[in-house]
């Protein structure tokens, strides 16, 4: 997963308007009171929701479908994000093996070269396959990637909580040579890299090419059983055509124009965002599709309409710190109506994370890690988290005796 979650007391440098009496000319006005954000419990309705769960139909999971690409990669790739599992003629499980996940962590186990890794998962938001091996590393500037002397064909065995297994075949090429051969390409099916999690085995977007990859949502019924679970089929059956009632167009390309370095292996959709109950709307492109996180998150710098704040029971605006595997994003919570352009799917009163909101410019001290609060740092205009859970923190954030650090905050 690219991300994870939590918060604390901090004085923020927000210049609020002074109320009451005013001041006479020539006098220095008193400084505005700072905004204080304290970490807090957040109810299920206050947390970021998986937008799929708010659809009227086709709301039990998603399928990511991407075409097969060759060993050289591709300049771009066009695929589909299918909503629902077993709810339409275009989203059946077929012969895919269901691997039920740990209902708390979302993990399955993975056995690779005789070693068992407890933290196995499938994640469209990871731009490589991340796992532990002794492959040679690439030289700078691609030193984060594996660079074996020849392309390696590898196999892992995934084991679900239901004791079902599935064989996951993948390959690892010399990333430096691949990038150099086609510097304008953005889609690659055989990128691999080490993981910082000693128990981690992350099959990212390279694994999705040429497959149907299913993510079923917790407590939602499907023909394959109740979520959360992963499943995948390869080779991929015919790809569903983007159109109503349940198929959204997905593009793997270089990402937003604002990026200093083009995106690699990032699947994007567009999302129409509206002020609730109004026709004041904006369509934002290059929103990353992420089966490893939950909720719609938008970069403040690309949002041109005003959305009302999501508030706690005392009427104080809420904010969130989201800690991804590669960095941390901080910002306010707002409420919006959303629509997916190709499928026509809609959801009302969706909680949205506004990353980099200048109203709260300084994250709390426990919201640590490399800041990903701009389009350039984040690599996208936002993220559509359609992972296996209904909320991004769930019951753990509802009634903790001590609010979970680096998650939700009440700002006042």
Nearest to 210 by CA among 229, 183, 191, 238: 238
> Residue ranges per domain, the chain?
1-23+32-57+268-412, 59-244
> What separation, in Å, do the N-terminal and C-terminal C-alpha atoms of the chain show?
32
Q: Which CATH architecture has domain 59-244?
A: Beta Barrel (2.40)
**CA 96 to each of CA 23, 156, 160, 229: distance values in angstroms, whole numbers, following the listed order:** 70, 16, 13, 12
What pLDDT, on a 0 to 100 scale, did the predictor assign at position 399? 87
Q: Higher model confidence: residue 259 or residue 362?
A: 259
Stated as kind and residue range, the H or E segment containing 338 is strand 327-339
DSSP letter (8 states) at residue 3? E
Q: Binning pLDDT at 50, 70 and 90, where does residue 15 land?
A: very low
Phi, psi torsion values for 54, nearest 5 degrees: -95, -5
pLDDT, tens digit, 9 for 90 and up, residues 157-201: 999 999 999 999 999 999 999 999 999 999 999 999 999 999 999
- pTM as predicted: 0.91
- Between strands 294-299 and 382-386, the pairing is antiparallel
- In percent, the amount of the chain with pLDDT more than 70 equals 92
Q: Binning pLDDT at 50, 70 and 90, where does residue 33 land?
A: low
Query: Of how many residues is the chain composed?
Result: 412
3 HSE (CA, 13 A, CB side): 33
Estimate the share of the chain in helix, then strand, then coil, as percent rounded to the nearest 5.
5, 40, 55
Residue 402 has pLDDT above 60, yes or no: yes
Residue 162 burial (C-beta neighbours within 10 Å; 0-12, 13-18, 19+): middle
DSSP letter (8 states) at residue 51? G
Give the Cβ contact number of residue 136 at 10 Å. 10
Q: Binning pLDDT at 50, 70 and 90, where does residue 34 land?
A: low
Nearest to 269 by CA among 372, 335, 194, 345: 345
* CA of residue 373 relative to chain centroid, distance: 14
Q: Which residue has the tokens 């997905």?
A: 250
Q: Binning pLDDT at 50, 70 and 90, where does residue 9 land?
A: very low
- For the record, the structure tokens of 143 come out as 């030193």
- For the record, the structure tokens of 184 come out as 């304008």
**CA 392 to each of CA 5, 102, 143, 234: distance values in angstroms, whole numbers, following the listed order:** 8, 15, 32, 29
Nearest to 64 by CA among 210, 190, 224: 210
> What fold, for 1-23+32-57+268-412?
Cathepsin D, subunit A; domain 1 (2.40.70)
For residues 117 and 15, give the distance between their C-alpha atoms in angstroms, rounded to a whole number.
49
Q: Which residue has the tokens 């890794």?
A: 117
- For the record, the structure tokens of 230 come out as 């992963």
The mean pLDDT value of the chain amounts to 91
For residues 238 and 50, give the distance between their C-alpha atoms in angstroms, rounded to a whole number.
27
- Comparing 10-24, 144-158, 228-242, 386-400, the range with the smallest average pLDDT is 10-24
What pLDDT, on a 0 to 100 scale, did the predictor assign at position 255? 98
């Amino acid at each position: 997963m690219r991300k994870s979650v939590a918060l604390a007391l901090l004085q923020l440098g927000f210049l609020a308007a002074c109320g009451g009496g005013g001041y006479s000319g020539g006098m220095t006005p008193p400084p505005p009171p700072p905004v204080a954000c304290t970490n807090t419990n957040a109810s299920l309705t206050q947390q970021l929701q998986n937008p799929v769960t708010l659809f009227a139909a086709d709301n039990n999971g998603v399928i990511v479908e991407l075409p097969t690409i060759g060993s050289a990669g591709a300049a771009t790739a066009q695929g589909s994000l299918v909503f629902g599992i077993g709810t339409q003629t275009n989203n059946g499980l077929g012969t895919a093996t269901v691997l039920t996940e740990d209902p708390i962590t979302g993990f399955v186990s993975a056995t690779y070269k005789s070693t068992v890794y407890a933290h196995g998962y499938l994640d469209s938001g990871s731009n490589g396959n991340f796992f532990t091996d002794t492959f040679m590393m690439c030289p700078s500037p691609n030193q984060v990637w594996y660079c074996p002397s020849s392309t390696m064909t590898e196999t892992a065995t995934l084991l679900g909580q239901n004791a079902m297994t599935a064989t996951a075949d993948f390959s690892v090429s010399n990333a430096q040579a691949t990038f150099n051969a086609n510097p304008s390409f953005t889609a690659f099916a055989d990128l691999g890299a080490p993981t910082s999690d000693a128990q981690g085995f992350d099959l990212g977007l390279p694994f999705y090419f040429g497959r149907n990859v299913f993510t079923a949502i917790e407590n939602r019924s499907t023909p394959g059983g109740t979520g959360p679970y992963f499943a995948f089929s390869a080779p991929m059956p015919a790809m569903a055509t983007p159109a109503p009632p349940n198929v959204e167009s997905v593009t793997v390309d270089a990402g937003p124009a604002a990026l200093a370095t083009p995106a690699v292996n990032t699947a994007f959709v567009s999302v129409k965002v509206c002020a609730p109950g109004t026709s004041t709307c904006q369509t934002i492109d290059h929103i990353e599709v992420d089966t490893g996180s939950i909720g719609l998150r938008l970069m403040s710098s690309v949002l041109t309409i005003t959305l009302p704040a999501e508030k706690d029971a005392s009427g104080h605006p809420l904010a969130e710190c989201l800690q991804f595997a590669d960095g941390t994003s901080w910002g306010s919570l707002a409420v919006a109506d959303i629509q997916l352009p190709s499928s026509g799917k809609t959801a009302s009163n969706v909680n949205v994370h506004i990353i980099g909101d200048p109203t709260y410019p300084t994250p709390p001290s426990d919201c640590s890690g490399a800041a990903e609060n701009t389009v350039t740092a984040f690599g996208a205009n936002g993220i559509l988290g359609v992972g296996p859970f209904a909320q991004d923190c769930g019951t753990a954030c509802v009634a903790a005796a001590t609010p979970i650090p680096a998650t939700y905050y009440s700002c006042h």
